[in-house]
Structure 1
Amino acid sequence: MAPGPIGDSVQSDDGVHSAFFYGTLMVPEVFYSVCYGTKDVPEAVAKLHTFQPAILHGFSRRRVKHADYPGMVPDDGHHVIGIFATGLTNANMAKLDYFEGSEYERRAVKVRLLEKVGNLKDGDRVEGEEKSAQTYVFLQEKFLEEQEWDLEEFRREKLKFWTRAGHIFDGCDPDTPAKVVE
């Protein structure tokens, strides 16, 4: 097998990893752009992954100053609604680590799948099964705004820039991957 863009040691098709995404990676086109280099993957590749609504308690998601993406930090009494993704390979995880860079630390967390998302203001959601996942926690809380990051605003105003060829890794530092904490 020819070496991949990040090297032989991370190539695998095991698909045993899962992750909790709470920002730009909640959009499948961004996930595919990061992990496969294109927003339009073949159906066979798309079928390798599942994406389900989930909730992570004890954290909050906020806007990162002067950025299109959010940061998530521990915050008792709060929660973050996101996506539980499965079917991730070692190569996918290495690309995600590279994408997140040194601003984030990958951590193991427990999320609950959402059987019913409902009207969040009225608390009309139903939490289901607990799952283990990896997620990326923002390390520079001083760069976070108080305001919650808005997925729909991102889709409307920024998504088109995040799924064009070459954009995803602009400014990423290949020599400083995300820290991994088990």
Structure 2
Amino acid sequence: MGDRSLFFYGTLLHPAILSRVIHGPSNPTFNEHNTYVTTCSAVLPAHSRHRVRGADYPAVIPESAPDAGVRGTLARGLTDNDVRRLDIFEGDEYARLPVKVIPLLDQGHSSMKGRNHESDHESAEKTSVAPEEVQAETYIWIASRNRLEKEEWDFDSFVQEKMHFWLGGETEKEEFGAVDADHKVDGTGGRSISGDIGRALQKEYGSSVEKSEDSAREMVRSAV
């Protein structure tokens, strides 16, 4: 278990996508070996969430309106390796920055194991806000704001219409990989398993496995 806390507000709200990023596409769901990440719904004050033109994923930017805030998930217990992979996944459109978020009452912390994709999204609409802020990190949009739309990004629509591109499942548009067949636009921004960022993550997983195997062999040699 690590000591890193991150606030997620977009595609990473879904446990299967978070697991794919942290553990690799061969492990699309959290199982009994991956219960170290705990989550609760939370609010990121003084920010707003927007759709990104031509993309499946949202952006969050600072917002000066007094009632501005973004609801999402606070994930605790992430390791440095997890965060390194999350950095790769987010790419150069975002910067990981320190923020203060407000956990939501009435649900406490839960393991990612067994969570469905609606749990955090739905509970966020039903819970009240705790008074205290906690320190975390999140990914703030640093690319051109001209790409942002005024409309709010919708998690349920993403799950129903776009999530299969992010998990490598079969689709009617496989000839374009993760590219929208109607507009020939990669809505994942290279974050599908076959995309540039997806391949960079695959390389990172392979490097980590090699390091683990080398470490195990060294321990065996030391014990002999």
Please report how far the alpha carbon of residue 41 of structure 1 lies from its aligned counterpart in structure 2 after TM superposition.
3.5
| Letter matched to residue 156 of structure 1 | Q
Given that 1:49 and 1:87 are in contact with CA atoms closer than 8 Å, whether structure 2 keeps it comes out as yes
Counterparts in 2 of 1:126 and 1:159: CA distance versus 1, 3 Å? same
Q: Higher relative contact order at CA 8 Å, sep ≥6: structure 1 or structure 2?
A: 1
| Letter matched to residue 43 of structure 1 | E
Distance 1:102 1:142 in 2: 16
Alignment of 1:1-182 (within 5 A): 15-37=2-24, 38-45=27-34, 47-77=35-65, 78-115=68-105, 120=125, 125-128=127-130, 129-140=132-143, 141-164=145-168, 167-168=192-193, 170-172=195-197
| Letter matched to residue 80 of structure 1 | V
Please report how far the alpha carbon of residue 119 of structure 1 lies from its aligned counterpart in structure 2 after TM superposition.
8.3
Runs of 4+ residues deviating >3 angstroms: 116-120
Residue 212 of structure 2 corresponds to which residue in structure 1? none
Distance 1:34 1:27 in 2: 11
Distance 1:146 1:101 in 2: 23
Q: How many residues align?
A: 157
Which residues of structure 2 form unaligned runs of 5+? 107-121, 170-190, 201-224
Distance 1:127 1:62 in 2: 22
TM-score (norm 2): 0.65
Counterparts in 2 of 1:104 and 1:169: CA distance versus 1, 3 Å? farther
Distance 2:140 2:193 in 1: 19
Distance 1:98 1:146 in 2: 27
TM-score (norm 1): 0.79
| Letter matched to residue 130 of structure 1 | E
Instruction: Please state whether the residue corresponding to 1:44 is helix, strand or coil.
Output: coil
Q: State the Cα RMSD in Å.
A: 2.2
Counterparts in 2 of 1:43 and 1:137: CA distance versus 1, 3 Å? same
Which one has a larger percent strand, Structure 1 or Structure 2? 1
